Amino acid sequence: MHIVLVEPEIPGNTGNIARLCAATGCELHLVKPLGFSIEDKYLKRAGLDYWNLVKVHVHETFNEIAALYQGHNFYFNTTKADKHHSDIAYQPEDLLVFGKETAGLPQELLHSYPDNCVRIPMVDDARSLNLSNAVAIVVYEAFRQQNFAGLR
């Protein structure tokens, strides 16, 4: 599986997600601009000593990823979707796309892929979940559906 973070802003969240990638074998894709340096000490601290287990790709634009992974399933996680993240039948090479902490995914991206937008259920008054928590919820649902293939 692939986790795509579009314009992530908080190094600690990206570090936590990198650690999740290390534990699950997911590849991590970061779409610029980033709100931090990849050398950031908070990013490294959150990922601890797992960075050697993570395959990280940095992309200039989302279109670059879309071209590289043409034919793959992309699922866009947003609070604006009607479909739940658990309604999807995930496949091993799917790309799970998440937006930046302060604004989510760009509207033009959501409008380009309306049938592939999903959300994590929450109470009405909750604005959103922490990015690294949201990624973990969706990734483990995808692995659960695949009987945790590749994990012990």
Binding residues for S-adenosyl-L-methionine: 99, 120, 128
Neighbours of 100 (CB within 10 A): 20
From 52, 29, 51, select the one nearest 40 (Cα to Cα): 51
Neighbours of 117 (CB within 10 A): 21
Peptide bond into 33 cis (omega under 30): yes
Residue count of the chain? 152
Residues annotated within the binding site are: 99, 120, 128
Q: 124 and 117 in contact (C-beta within 8 Å)?
A: no
